[in-house]
Chains A and B, each alone.
Chain A
Amino acid sequence: MRIFPRLRFRTKLNLGMASILVVMALLLLPLIGTMSANSLVEESKKRGSALAEGLSVRAVDSMLARDFLRLKNMVDEQSTVEDVIYAFVQDKNGFVMAHTFQRGFPVDLIDANKVDTDESLHIQLLADGSRRIYDFAAPVLVSDGRLGTVRIGLSQARIQLAVQRQITIMAGLFAAALFLATSLGTVFARRVTARLGRLRAHAEEMLTGNLDTISGPSWGIHCWEKQQCGTTQCPAYGETRRRCWYIAGTMCPDCNNEGNFQCRLQSCRLCAVYRENAGDEIQDLAETFDVMALSLKSHIDELRGAERNLRDQQRLTRTILDVTPDRVSLIDSTMRYRGCNKSFAESVGLSLAEVDGKTDFDLFPEAEAEERHMAARDILQSGRRLDTQVMVETAGGERWYHVVCIPVLSEDGRIGGLLRTDRDITDIKRYENQLIQAQKMESLGLLAGGVAHEINTPLGIILGYAQLLQEDVPADSQIHQDLAIIEKQTQVCKKIVADLLGFSRQTQSAKREMCFNNSVMEAVSLVRHTLELDKVAIVTQLDDRYPIIYGDPEKLKQVWINLLTNARDAMGGQPGTILIRTRLDTPGGIVSLWVADNGSGIAEDALKKIFDPFYSTKAVDKGTGLGLSVSFGIIEDHGGEIHAVSPIPEEFGFPVEAKGGLDGGGTVFEVNLPLDHQVHEPGEPEKE
């Protein structure tokens, strides 16, 4: 059953034509054979009748005259006709007056066929063995009298032969027609299938993505040539890949651009360009195919452009979303995640694609998930935005987040989802705490300053009176020794008060042009001897350009001494090395000082608090915890900044050959002071 559809078009065409011809032949040959046989038999009968009747008329005179010669001539004349087998004349008694037989007369014939006087003719089929003979008997009549009978025999075989010949000729004609039709069909089908094949090949090429094939014929005259048109802005002008009737919006005055393609084509049929270039259906198909390929190509190009644009946009959006450290996520109305940014995905440890479709319970610990879920459900129900800060316990400690949840409205105004942004504000929170601390310290400083100022005067009086009393008692007396203790402790108090005043910057600042290196060298020479006693060496790497700064030499010296003594204290009584380095950074407008030690170093959490007042890691009687905070205040007063790094970074270049030191990795303090005080001075509120 599937054989026929699989046959080639050419074979089908030939089969169709051949079967039509064969069926025609089968139908017509017997029909024509029969008809022609009948008509030939009829014709022969008519001819025989005519012969017999003619002979009967002409035989009258001879019979009347009993002229046997003329009768013999007459019948012999009949037998010259090719299919006449015999002819003879009988008188009214049945006697054969003349016949065409050579020897004797076949007596069977005499009574084989009879004709009545009132009949003009009688035809009788005779059989002589296998031979068939049509016997025609015609009466010889004169007015109403009968003279005898004329008999003529025609061979049926000759008639059959003629019929056979006719059928053979017909069959031959059919065969020739079959051959011709098949040949012509093959030629025609080959032409058609070749064109169809080209179309198919091009279609296959199109499938593989090659849209530049041309299926239609390239011949023909272009419309602008035919119409001698100079309208170069017309879309059809110069277009060689498409016929003009496939192009919309042509500017030819003959063109109808109002209707659809069908209407346009209707008007084109009258156009001379169309009449000259249009082809048959297959050409139409090929040309339409080309137009299709062309428009497909342009559409695909447009689509590619749009896709590229879209991809760029998407990448941009994705970049914007991913670059932000905020965790952005989108939840649909069924509380499932529909999208997020990279930061969010990293926070839950999944890829972007894996997040899609998950719920809070898939991504977060149960307690946090429950919290997020409830918040989201509340917003989806109420439609109110949520703006809050939450604290999350993580392995690295507490983290603070600023959470903003905004309901996303769908086109019909219903809440279709929820956009949640979690911004990590842990650092901000810390700065906030530091600010609070700073404010606290400022209040404390003011309080301490106020108290110290009030206490300073009575302390001076106590000190003065203690010294006066010492002069009044003998130097080696018990009272003198007690007074000396009072004086010493009062001195300690006075120092504390002076530090407090310095911390609250209620002491005098005497700034002037000064040499930065000299200030450092002075401090070093002051403490070098003391430090050497503790087996702590001081190495200096001072910038030899001797930078000049604007500052208070005494206070800065106090800072340097503070830093050096702190470094000594970091040794914990063990031998060690302290490195002092200064560096001028002229383009940056700053001069820097580093004080590095190879002592015990500072713990990371302590590092944040070392500049807080009264913060100390030393024993209670060893320090007040005010040294660094006072230094911090002095440096700030100079418009600079101070900070510490522990342990010492590799790139700092602490000399490895340095003596002693502990395993803590050491600490380095960095002080940066501005060279140019002009910028700094006006902004500095004057305390004096």
Chain B
Amino acid sequence: MKRTTFTAALAFALLLALCLAPAGCSDDDPVRVDLSKREDLVAPRLTEAITYAYLPQYSHTISYQRHRQLLEYLRKTTGLPLRQIFPDTFEEHVKMVERGEIDISYSNPFVYVRLAKAGAHAFARVIEPSGEPNFRGQIIARADNAAVNSLEDCRGKRWIAVDPNSAGGYLFPLGLFYDHGIRLSDFETVDFAPGPGGKQEKVVLAVHAGVYDIGTIRKGTLDVVAGKVDLGAIRILAETRPYPGWVYAAREGLDPSVIEAISTAMFALDKDTEEQRSILNAAGMTGIIPARDADYDPVRELIVKLGLDR
């Protein structure tokens, strides 16, 4: 009896082993390929198109995400072959405009002033999410920081700004400090928010944490961080004067009919239309209005004042 049981167990074990052994190797039927069959690939020639570039304020991915729908709209409305391209840096962007590689440039007012020198001219500007075609900078401090109550108090303090190229987050407030006779050397430290992306928010968080005494941000940033920090703890020390916002410029020599077609389509964008609102929201604007080069004179004045043109 015992012997039978033992034999049965052994047989079962062998059977199990036989059943399971091939299971480890079985898989879907493979697709036959021959890796030795090689060819040298040649890239297909790119079609001629009107190039569109967004100043690389953000990563290419975000740039692409923000303007993909707008470009799609413009291609559809104007019938022009528009293609978004991605310069890696501000400098490259400017150079590409100068070389005529970028036909339509979307840049901030400071970059535009440089582009204008290279022959580009503004033809449209955006309406900020705040509803104005202008935007301001803000100087903030912690509400409980009794040492900072006025612009004058900012001397000798630790300042965190967004970026050396940031308009609202650095250059506009810097102009304001110049107006009050405060120079960069008057601050204990002047630091810029680290890393790519979310730099505006980082300034607010750094001030909120008390790492810095004052911070400078583009107006509207506080609404963005409302969910992250208690806004009651942040005090707005001062606001700069309004400056015109981001601008669309055409390179020198671009066919005026193309500019005409594109600007017409842009100006037709209506934030009250469901479809077009999503295009505008994705691009971070509420509308596009016509612009002239003279709109950017205040910026030119600021540049001169800060000595950035040298």
Interface set of A (CB-CB < 8 Å, partner B): 19, 23, 26-27, 29-31, 33-34, 37-38, 41, 60-61, 64-65, 67, 93, 95-97, 101, 103-109, 112-113, 124-129, 132-133, 142-143, 145, 160, 163
A23–B5 alpha-carbon span in the complex (Å): 13
A605–B31 alpha-carbon span in the complex (Å): 147
Is the beta-carbon distance between A65 and B88 smaller than 8 angstroms? yes
Contacts of B28 in A (CB 8 A): 124-125
B57-65, B207-215, B220-228, B284-292: which lies at the interface: B57-65
Query: Which 5 pairs show the lowest CB-CB distances between chains A and B?
Result: A104-B38, A37-B24, A127-B30, A30-B17, A108-B33
The 8 Å CB contact of A163, one of B24, B61, B63, B86, is: B24
Is the beta-carbon distance between A105 and B34 smaller than 8 angstroms? no
A125–B33 alpha-carbon span in the complex (Å): 10
CB-CB nearest in chain B for A24: B13
Contacts of B33 in A (CB 8 A): 106, 108-109, 112, 126-128, 133
Interface string of B1-44 (1 = CB under 8 A from A): 00000100110011011101101110111111111111111011
Least CB distance from B30 to A in Å reads: 4
Contacts of B10 in A (CB 8 A): 23, 26
Query: Among B9, B29, B30, B63, which residue has the most Cβ atoms of chain A within 10 A?
Result: B30
Is the beta-carbon distance between A27 and B60 smaller than 8 angstroms? no
A129–B57 alpha-carbon span in the complex (Å): 50
Interface string of B48-83 (1 = CB under 8 A from A): 000000000001110111001000000000000000
Q: A30-B17, A61-B61 are in contact. Are A125 and B27 (CB under 8 A)?
A: yes
Is the beta-carbon distance between A33 and B21 smaller than 8 angstroms? yes
Least CB distance from B45 to A in Å reads: 11
CB-CB nearest in chain A for B34: A108
Is the beta-carbon distance between A61 and B60 smaller than 8 angstroms? yes
The 8 Å CB contact of A27, one of B6, B16, B32, B43, is: B16
Q: A31-B20, A108-B37 are in contact. Are A23 and B9 (CB under 8 A)?
A: yes
Contacts of B38 in A (CB 8 A): 101, 103-107
Q: A33-B21, A113-B31, A127-B30 are in contact. Are A95 and B43 (CB under 8 A)?
A: yes
Is the beta-carbon distance between B68 and A26 smaller than 8 angstroms? no
A97–B46 alpha-carbon span in the complex (Å): 13
CB-CB nearest in chain A for B40: A104
Q: A23-B10, A95-B41 are in contact. Are A65 and B86 (CB under 8 A)?
A: yes
Contacts of B9 in A (CB 8 A): 23
Is the beta-carbon distance between A125 and B59 smaller than 8 angstroms? no
A95–B14 alpha-carbon span in the complex (Å): 52
Least CB distance from A129 to B in Å reads: 8
Taking A93-B44, A97-B43 as known contacts, 6 extra A-B pairs with beta carbons closer than 8 A to each other, sorted by chain A number, are A26-B17, A29-B17, A30-B21, A61-B59, A96-B41, A106-B37
Contacts of B61 in A (CB 8 A): 60-61, 64, 142
Contacts of B23 in A (CB 8 A): 34
The 8 Å CB contact of B64, one of A37, A103, A132, A142, is: A142
Least CB distance from A199 to B in Å reads: 27
Is the beta-carbon distance between A105 and B41 smaller than 8 angstroms? yes
A31–B21 alpha-carbon span in the complex (Å): 8
Is the beta-carbon distance between A106 and B14 smaller than 8 angstroms? no
Contacts of B39 in A (CB 8 A): 104-105, 107
Contacts of A26 in B (CB 8 A): 10, 13-14, 17
Contacts of A61 in B (CB 8 A): 59-61, 86
Least CB distance from B2 to A in Å reads: 10
Contacts of B29 in A (CB 8 A): 125
CB-CB nearest in chain B for A85: B35
The 8 Å CB contact of B40, one of A19, A105, A109, is: A105
CB-CB nearest in chain B for A35: B24
Contacts of B41 in A (CB 8 A): 95-96, 105
CB-CB nearest in chain B for A31: B20
Is the beta-carbon distance between B64 and A106 smaller than 8 angstroms? no
CB-CB nearest in chain A for B38: A104
Contacts of A125 in B (CB 8 A): 27-31
Is the beta-carbon distance between A30 and B37 smaller than 8 angstroms? no
Contacts of A145 in B (CB 8 A): 64, 68
A67–B88 alpha-carbon span in the complex (Å): 10
Contacts of B60 in A (CB 8 A): 60-61, 64-65
Is the beta-carbon distance between A127 and B35 smaller than 8 angstroms? no
Least CB distance from B249 to A in Å reads: 21
Least CB distance from B39 to A in Å reads: 5
CB-CB nearest in chain A for B22: A34
Contacts of B13 in A (CB 8 A): 23, 26-27
Is the beta-carbon distance between A34 and B86 smaller than 8 angstroms? no
Query: Among B9, B40, B43, B44, which residue has the most Cβ atoms of chain A within 10 A?
Result: B43
Contacts of B30 in A (CB 8 A): 124-127, 132
Query: Among B17, B43, B65, which residue has the most Cβ atoms of chain A within 10 A?
Result: B17
CB-CB nearest in chain B for A108: B33
CB-CB nearest in chain B for A124: B31
Q: List, sorted by A's number, 7 A–B pairs whose CB atoms are closer than 8 Å.
A: A38-B24, A96-B41, A104-B38, A107-B37, A109-B35, A124-B31, A145-B68
Least CB distance from B250 to A in Å reads: 23
Is the beta-carbon distance between B65 and A142 smaller than 8 angstroms? yes
Contacts of A126 in B (CB 8 A): 30-33
A128–B14 alpha-carbon span in the complex (Å): 34
Contacts of A143 in B (CB 8 A): 65, 68
Is the beta-carbon distance between B31 and A33 smaller than 8 angstroms? no
A423–B164 alpha-carbon span in the complex (Å): 158
A176–B35 alpha-carbon span in the complex (Å): 43
Is the beta-carbon distance between B65 and A33 smaller than 8 angstroms? no
Least CB distance from A559 to B in Å reads: 112
Is the beta-carbon distance between A37 and B25 smaller than 8 angstroms? yes
A64–B41 alpha-carbon span in the complex (Å): 20
CB-CB nearest in chain A for B65: A143
CB-CB nearest in chain B for A62: B60
CB-CB nearest in chain B for A67: B88
The 8 Å CB contact of A34, one of B21, B35, B36, B37, is: B21
A23–B16 alpha-carbon span in the complex (Å): 11
A23–B7 alpha-carbon span in the complex (Å): 11
A397–B9 alpha-carbon span in the complex (Å): 96
CB-CB nearest in chain B for A103: B38
Contacts of B34 in A (CB 8 A): 106, 108, 128-129
Contacts of B20 in A (CB 8 A): 30-31, 33-34
Contacts of A93 in B (CB 8 A): 44
A314–B36 alpha-carbon span in the complex (Å): 116
Contacts of B16 in A (CB 8 A): 27, 30-31
Least CB distance from B264 to A in Å reads: 26
Contacts of B25 in A (CB 8 A): 37, 160
Contacts of A109 in B (CB 8 A): 33, 35
Is the beta-carbon distance between B17 and A27 smaller than 8 angstroms? yes
CB-CB nearest in chain A for B63: A64
CB-CB nearest in chain B for A123: B28
A34–B25 alpha-carbon span in the complex (Å): 8
Contacts of A41 in B (CB 8 A): 27
Least CB distance from B140 to A in Å reads: 32
A27–B16 alpha-carbon span in the complex (Å): 7
A145–B23 alpha-carbon span in the complex (Å): 40
Contacts of A105 in B (CB 8 A): 38-41
Least CB distance from A33 to B in Å reads: 6
CB-CB nearest in chain B for A128: B35
Interface string of B194-214 (1 = CB under 8 A from A): 000000000000000000000
Contacts of A33 in B (CB 8 A): 20-21, 24
Least CB distance from B196 to A in Å reads: 11
Query: Among A60, A61, A125, which residue has the most Cβ atoms of chain B within 10 A?
Result: A61
A127–B64 alpha-carbon span in the complex (Å): 38
A96–B30 alpha-carbon span in the complex (Å): 22
A112–B35 alpha-carbon span in the complex (Å): 11
A109–B65 alpha-carbon span in the complex (Å): 30
A127–B28 alpha-carbon span in the complex (Å): 11
A44–B30 alpha-carbon span in the complex (Å): 17
A649–B65 alpha-carbon span in the complex (Å): 167
Least CB distance from B127 to A in Å reads: 23
A261–B186 alpha-carbon span in the complex (Å): 104
